[in-house]
Amino acid sequence: MLNYGDAVAHLHIARRVFDSHRPGLTQLGSVWLPLPHLLLIPFIAVHAWWANGAAALIPSALAWLASCAGLYRLSRRWLTPIPAAIALAFFALNPNLLYLQTTAMTEPLFVCEMVWTAVWLVEWRAALDSVNENAGNGLLWCIALALVAAVYTRYDGWIMALLAWCAIGVALLRRGRLRSRTFWLASTVVVAAPVVWLVYNATVFGDWLDFVRGPYSASAIEVRTATPGAGPPHPGWHNLWISLIFYVKCAEMDAAALAWGNILLVLSVLGTACGWFLARKHAFSWALLLLLPVPFYAYSVAYGSVPIFLPVWWPHSWYNTRYGLEMLPAFALGMGFAASFVMTTAREFKPRVAGGVAAFLLLLVVINCVLMLREGPPVYIEGTKNIEARRSYEVEIPAALRAYLQKSPGGIILMDTSVYPQIVAFTGIPLKQTINESDKEFYRSALSAPAQHAALVLAFDGDEVDRAVHAHPQGLEEERRFTAPWQPAATLYVSVTPNATTSIDMRAR
């Protein structure tokens, strides 16, 4: 559950909202959107759940269950129970999604929001046709709230909210009902969601686009990690076509065994086309919102500093493979229509074999899952490679910190928690027992005189704490040095300054 560095970071952000020297909503940061962290807070309050990652299991698993319910409900708008069940099985048993729904990653929650937005859009369009104003108004509010949740979960949600709400406006305009009071009230709520985030960034970080161009934004990270003179940082850089191919391949690999990927893509496209021709008069076109990830990620990979690396193509690595999971609902719905077509055709020629065909299709879904597990689900492999780089530090450093804190309980630790946040949880201490980068003025004061503010100082080569130690080494003694492959070395210092404010109790006084 802690394999992904991003999952650990999400847990850390949620924890520091109430466990820090400056508790409050400003601890939510500027780059990652706040809803996933807010949902984690009730569970992250249990220290053991923070340390072992179990805090994320409850909200993520509930999102997965809600996604399953939503996909089946959407499928049943046009399909009989067996094809709808095949679509549900294809979605629900996906090993990559099953893994992510045990973590603090944001994809399971966003997939849930995307599925239910599609469900309610289809139902709203049907209510509009039936002139059921009360049902339509209720569904408008459901859609608005789902879009607000999506806006506060992932930036994909901003585009989804724009497209979905504009489509609703156009549909109402064509019916001469654009003056609907409910629509304009709900519009205010939908528009306010991104505006509030912009105002938050401007107020807290001094730049209303800090999440786009700030020091922790994707573009800033790309600049810091790029090798000068090495050419494009990834294959899809500023190439929309290559980016599209990478994303579609990524979605295939997340949904099907490697040898079945192209077959899945063809069947899903044919099934979606079948759905368009058979059910477009029953609001099927509104479900095409599920295809939004294709243009969004094609553009994002090309121009948004979010590369995707796949093991089958150069540079033969794993990076952001989880993005393909957002296409899983669209694949599943397309597979449901394809299964319905096959079963209908079999029933017309040999009615007695229709049940056998359904059983065979369900068996294929199970075989696909087994093959994916044997090959290794890409999302899980990427997460495993993520933790390999951190594993030694997350074992050795907490053990060293615990050994010292047994002699000096309550000792304050000065460290940057942005790269290895789980070190604190594994040490068994609250975040408030550290002075870290999220503590703003406390952190700046501590950097100007480390030995005066902390009992222990943990510095990673090149970070702010390391630079502060070299600038102000007075009163510090090197205790231990830690090294790990491909990671900056870490040094643990002990304060020997007499009368230093180095414990929680002393800082409180």
> pLDDT digits over 37-67, tens only?
999 999 999 999 999 999 999 999 999 999 9
* Per-residue pLDDT reduced to its tens digit, 170-202: 999 998 889 889 999 999 999 999 999 999 999
CA end-to-end distance (rounded Å), the chain: 39
Give the pLDDT mean for 358-370: 95
Instruction: Indicate whether 418 pLDDT > 50.
Output: yes
Residue with tokens 């230093």: 500
Q: Kindly indicate the confidence band of residue 503, based on its pLDDT and cuts at 50, 70 and 90.
A: low
Indicate the helix (H) or strand (E) that contains 199: helix 181-205
Q: What is the dihedral of CA 209, 211, 215, 220, to 10 degrees?
A: -100
CB 279 within 8 A of CB 336: no
> What is the per-residue pLDDT for 386?
83
Q: pTM of the predicted model, to two decimals?
A: 0.94
Residue type, 189: V
Q: Kindly indicate the confidence band of residue 502, based on its pLDDT and cuts at 50, 70 and 90.
A: low
- What whole-number distance in Å separates Cα of residue 201 and Cα of residue 205? 5
* Per-residue pLDDT reduced to its tens digit, 86-139: 999 999 999 999 999 999 999 999 999 999 999 999 999 999 988 777 888 999
Indicate the helix (H) or strand (E) that contains 477: strand 476-482
Instruction: Indicate whether 509 pLDDT > 50.
Output: no
* Per-residue pLDDT reduced to its tens digit, 127-154: 998 877 788 899 999 999 999 999 999 9
Give the other-Cβ count within 10 Å of 485's Cβ. 7
Percentage of the chain beyond pLDDT 90 is 80
Rounded to the nearest integer, the mean pLDDT of the chain is: 92
Instruction: Indicate whether 504 pLDDT > 80.
Output: no
> What is the per-residue pLDDT for 355?
84
Residue 125 has which token pair? 């369009």
